Amino acid sequence: MNKKTEFPFNKARRVTPEENQKFRQAISEQFGIKFRERKIMKQHEDDKKQ
């Protein structure tokens, strides 16, 4: 039996945000894992490095 060792990256596609949300919901329901929401902190204009 031949076994490929490399992933076919040329045939791969990105996961959409909707699919990602469905995956997280399924994992949460099945295993009871609570995911934290990631929040982006906004920088003030004077905090930005030049």
Averages of pLDDT over runs of 10 residues in the chain (50 residues) are: 76 93 93 83 66
User: Taking the model in full, what pTM does it have?
Assistant: 0.51
Rounded Cα gap, residues 21 and 35, in angstroms: 11
Q: Given this model, what pLDDT does residue 38 score?
A: 76
Q: Given this model, what pLDDT does residue 29 score?
A: 93
> CA torsion 14→39→34→25, rounded to 10°?
-40
